[in-house]
Amino acid sequence: MTTLPILEFKNANAPSVFQPANLLREARRQRGLDHAEVPAICLLDPDGDMVRYLRRTGRAQPVKYWACYHTEMWLFEWDGIEMGVVGCAVGAPFAVLLAEQMFASGCRFLISVTSSGQITPVGEPPYFILIDRALRDEGTSYHYLSPSRFAEADPMVLEWLAPLVGNAPVTVHQGATWTTDAPYRETEHAIVSHRAAGILAVEMEAAALYAFSRARGFAVACFAHVTNTMAQSEGDFEKGEADGALEALALVAVTARYWLTAIR
């Protein structure tokens, strides 16, 4: 076999027959939903910590016109900025499915904050990484970009967000992550090899989201919330107050503000 099956019949420049706008049109028809735009700034919250905190404290309301078949979107305001968030969107295919539908519904900037495991220590967890490139060890990205080792963040988005490192209200580093679609197959050989290559953390969405961003021309910023060492010691996975939601929301708010400043 000269070509892996996952790479067969891939043409990153060919249009898709199935379009998110058409799916959303039919969902609105079936459900009798109004056609309204979601907030310009949307969030993916794979662990669901931000969504649970916002709902528990009465700070979020459902976006009733969000036409996704699989999820609920919640509208909230933080530090004076209105945003929409979808929780528990774990993994590359699910993240990109939602990203496609968000941008087809009026989103202009997408922020993902995903829990991740430490590969190269740069501090004591928990802390955040602004992901500038992600190793493509999943399948979704290959439907958007031709094969390459990494999916790169949009350089303009990184330029907008450069002041975050060292100036955010939480600890933020910048660097590369490893996007896997098999979290329970993180072998010692893979970990050692990726550490030698300078990978800082492992997560499940960034490579696909960045491939989507570059292929479709949409602004996406991905953060890894390094919370664990893959359960190698007891007491792992501690995120801080409110399961890390307050720090994540503080990071999201300052990220959103940098984007708003850049586009004005």
Helix-helix angle 92-104:206-216, to 10 degrees: 30
pTM: 0.96
Alpha helices in 83-187 (DSSP H): 92-104, 155-161
Measure the CA angle with vertex 133, ends 129 and 136; round to 5°: 115
How far apart CA 35 and CA 118 sit, in angstroms, is: 42
Predicted local distance difference test score (pLDDT) of residue 175: 98
Name the 3-class secondary structure at 196. helix
Q: Which helix (H) or strand (E) holds 262?
A: helix 245-263
Could you tell me if 136 and 125 are in contact, meaning their C-beta atoms sit under 8 angstroms apart? no
Pick out the chain residues at pLDDT < 70: 1-2
Could you tell me if 156 and 179 are in contact, meaning their C-beta atoms sit under 8 angstroms apart? no
Q: Give the domains, in start order, of the chain with CATH numbers.
A: 36-231+239-263 (3.40.50.1580)
Predicted local distance difference test score (pLDDT) of residue 214: 98
Q: Write the CA distances from 222 to 16, 56, 96, 130, 146, integer angstroms.
A: 25, 25, 12, 6, 21
Evaluate the CA torsion angle 128, 72, 88, 199 in order and state its sign.
negative
Predicted local distance difference test score (pLDDT) of residue 2: 58
